[in-house]
């Protein structure tokens, strides 16, 4: 047993926990971080960058989006079904947080939109090698933040999961942790911040709190370590339960390993999307928005849909490039479609299909006889008339399905991870079931993220990582102020 005394103790060292540690340490209080994995960063190591509005970079590029306008967009989008004060404090902080990260040494590529018509709020991190950003680019940011925390005197205990949060008289007094080597730590702390990243790798909690069954109607990203212990420890310490959901996007079993990137070509607006009954279900231009598409999929029988293209559409995208560029993989994803086709068909026979006619495709997809044929005929009539009287797809994307070969991919709801679980106020102070503050208790990041009222906000890109960093920074500052009063 080792006894530790510290002003602020932080449970987990992901993007939010590191931001909290740095923010608190900058106010000259002692800080310790207890991270159960062997490295810091958590989910942020898989991501690309945080949201920000009115950053120095945006101003230099003469981006005229203001925090007031972003706030209005967010609140309209969510129908005011979220904590307006928390959104306000987060957005008002976000520009300075990008500057704060830059001053530490983080290098950003450029503010990026997620799709045409969106806002350039996604501050994508430039990889350490100076190459083009892509998946895991934000790991460079995590390394900078970890160095900054260490330089400020933050003690980071790796492979040391927290086992219990200690309270007395409705106040946090510390925590217990244990290292992989067996050392037990009894930590006396004036304030504790929980920032454990949610329950995205705990299929039982996903089922219990969101109703999805992983591998059946949900194919979400599963980051090792995100098992929900932080939520359960917080609840055991008296925290109230916050609203919980999945950060829904569109996915497919084919996309799980990033082995076959060309399957993402089906998410382009010239595709046709139908449910298992063969019914067309959306204006396919909205395939650009994975969260909106997930909403459509979620209400279909079986909670899946099929996206269909023919060889003419594939050749168009190979020759001319995609109409909706992929901001994660910055190259033409259609280029290798035919190189990868046989592999996709062999490895995913229940999710990838090819046929020589719509009738054959209908049979392979298990759609009732004649239903897909009728839908395609109706859709082709719209294309020939250059007006989609059914779902109002823009005429520039109306292309008749009449090729010699037809392809379909089955798509489901996916998710970047879980959202929410711990009840907090806009100062990131943890509240009990009666909405009373537990003194010295704070939480941030995904464990408290309830920003979207059911639909992830792609319009303002980078939001979940942005909230992680900003809420961590706010929680760290407030925890330090509280600790200094004791």
**What's the confidence (pLDDT) of residue 327?**
72
Worst-scoring range by mean pLDDT, 107-116, 130-139, 198-207, 236-245? 130-139
**What's the confidence (pLDDT) of residue 331?**
80
**What's the confidence (pLDDT) of residue 29?**
98
Q: Where are the alpha helices (DSSP H) in 348-414?
A: 358-365, 371-385
**What's the confidence (pLDDT) of residue 183?**
97
The predicted-structure confidence for 53-87, as pLDDT tens digits, reads as follows 999 999 999 999 999 999 999 999 999 999 999 99
If you average pLDDT over residues 19-41, what whole number do you get?
98
The predicted-structure confidence for 422-453, as pLDDT tens digits, reads as follows 999 999 999 999 999 999 999 999 999 999 99
**234: pLDDT confidence band, cut at 50, 70 and 90?**
very high
Instruction: Using DSSP, state whether 160 is helix, strand or coil.
Output: coil
The predicted-structure confidence for 125-160, as pLDDT tens digits, reads as follows 999 888 888 889 999 999 999 999 999 999 999 999
Query: And the tokens for 151?
Result: 């330089």
Q: Which has the closest alpha carbon to 14: 141, 177, 138, 197?
A: 197
Query: And the tokens for 473?
Result: 């920074």
If you average pLDDT over residues 220-249, what whole number do you get?
96
Residue 454: exposure state from Cβ atoms within 10 A (0-12, 13-18, ≥19) = middle
DSSP string covering 70-83: HHHHHHHHTTT-S-
Rounded Cα–Cα distance for residues 180 and 317 (Å): 51
The predicted-structure confidence for 379-437, as pLDDT tens digits, reads as follows 999 999 999 999 999 999 999 999 999 999 999 999 999 999 999 999 999 999 999 99
Q: Which has the closest alpha carbon to 415: 311, 295, 327?
A: 295
**What's the confidence (pLDDT) of residue 21?**
98
The predicted-structure confidence for 161-187, as pLDDT tens digits, reads as follows 999 999 999 999 999 999 999 999 999
**What's the confidence (pLDDT) of residue 129?**
86
**110: pLDDT confidence band, cut at 50, 70 and 90?**
confident
**What's the confidence (pLDDT) of residue 324?**
87
Q: Which has the closest alpha carbon to 186: 166, 205, 215?
A: 166
**What's the confidence (pLDDT) of residue 325?**
78
DSSP string covering 143-211: HHHHHHHHHTT-EEETT--EEEEEEETTEEEEEEEE-TTS-EEEEEEEEEEE----STT-HHHHHHHH-
Q: What are phi and psi of 70, to 5 degrees?
A: -60, -40
- Over the chain, what is the mean pLDDT? 96
Query: What torsion, rounded to 10 degrees, do the Cα atoms 374, 378, 384, 385 define?
Result: 160
Rounded Cα–Cα distance for residues 422 and 406 (Å): 47
Rounded Cα–Cα distance for residues 32 and 8 (Å): 7
Contact 467, 447 (CB under 8 A): no
Give yes or no for residue 365 having a pLDDT over 80: yes
The predicted-structure confidence for 89-106, as pLDDT tens digits, reads as follows 999 999 999 999 999 999
Instruction: Using DSSP, state whether 464 is helix, strand or coil.
Output: helix
Share of the chain above pLDDT 70, in %: 100
- For residue 133, give every residue at least 6 positions away whose Cβ sits within 8 Å of its Cβ, in sequence order, or none: 48, 49, 109, 124, 125, 126, 127, 330
Give yes or no for residue 203 having a pLDDT over 80: yes
**What's the confidence (pLDDT) of residue 133?**
86
Give yes or no for residue 329 having a pLDDT over 80: no
Q: pTM of the predicted model, to two decimals?
A: 0.96
Secondary structure element (H or E) that encloses residue 317, with its range: helix 311-320
Per the DSSP assignment, residues forming a β-bridge with 191 are 8
Contact 60, 95 (CB under 8 A): no
Rounded Cα–Cα distance for residues 285 and 109 (Å): 28
């Amino acid at each position: 047993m080792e006894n530790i005394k510290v002003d602020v103790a932080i449970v987990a060292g992901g993007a939010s926990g590191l931001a909290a540690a740095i923010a608190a340490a900058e106010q000259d209080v002692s800080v310790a971080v207890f991270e159960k994995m062997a490295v810091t960063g958590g989910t942020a190591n898989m991501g690309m960058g945080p949201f920000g509005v009115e950053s120095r970079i945006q101003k230099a590029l003469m981006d005229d989006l203001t925090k007031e306008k972003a706030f209005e967009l967010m609140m309209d989008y969510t129908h005011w079904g979220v904590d307006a004060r928390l959104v306000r404090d987060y957005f008002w902080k976000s520009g300075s947080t990008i500057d704060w990260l830059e001053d530490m040494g983080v290098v950003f590529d450029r503010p990026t939109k997620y799709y045409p018509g969106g806002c350039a709020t996604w501050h994508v991190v430039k990889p350490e090698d100076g190459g083009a950003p892509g998946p895991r680019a934000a790991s460079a940011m995590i390394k900078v933040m970890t160095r900054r925390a260490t330089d400020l005197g933050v003690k980071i205990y790796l492979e040391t999961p927290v086992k219990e949060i200690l309270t007395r008289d409705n106040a946090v007094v510390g925590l217990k942790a244990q290292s992989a080597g067996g050392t037990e730590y009894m930590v006396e702390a004036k304030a504790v911040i929980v920032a454990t990243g949610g329950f995205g790798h705990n299929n039982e909690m996903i089922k219990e709190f969101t109703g999805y069954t992983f591998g059946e109607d949900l194919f979400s990203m599963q980051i090792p370590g995100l098992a929900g212990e932080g939520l359960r420890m917080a609840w055991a310490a008296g925290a109230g339960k916050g609203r919980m959901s999945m950060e829904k996007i569109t996915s497919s079993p084919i996309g799980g390993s990033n082995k076959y990137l060309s399957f993402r070509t089906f998410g382009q607006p010239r595709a046709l999307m139908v449910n298992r009954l063969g019914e067309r279900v959306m204006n396919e231009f909205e395939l650009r928005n994975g969260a909106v598409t997930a909403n459509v999929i979620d209400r279909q029988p079986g909670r899946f849909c099929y996206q269909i293209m023919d060889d003419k559409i594939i050749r168009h995208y190979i020759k001319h490039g995609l109409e909706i560029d992929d901001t994660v993989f910055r190259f033409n994803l259609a280029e290798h479609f035919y190189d990868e086709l046989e592999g996709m068909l062999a490895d995913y026979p229940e999710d990838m299909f090819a046929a020589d006619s719509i009738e054959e495709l209908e049979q392979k997809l298990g759609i009732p006889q004649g239903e897909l044929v009728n839908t395609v005929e109706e859709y082709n009539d719209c294309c020939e008339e250059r007006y989609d009287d059914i779902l109002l797809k823009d005429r520039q994307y109306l292309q008749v399905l009449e090729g010699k070969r037809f392809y379909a991919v089955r798509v489901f709801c996916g998710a970047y991870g879980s959202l929410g679980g711990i009840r907090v106020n806009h100062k990131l102070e943890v509240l009990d079931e009666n909405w009373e503050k537990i003194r010295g208790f704070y939480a941030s990041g995904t464990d408290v993220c309830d920003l979207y009222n059911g639909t992830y906000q792609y319009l303002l890109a980078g939001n979940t990582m942005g909230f992680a960093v900003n809420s961590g920074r706010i929680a760290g500052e407030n925890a330090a102020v509280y600790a200094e009063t004791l």
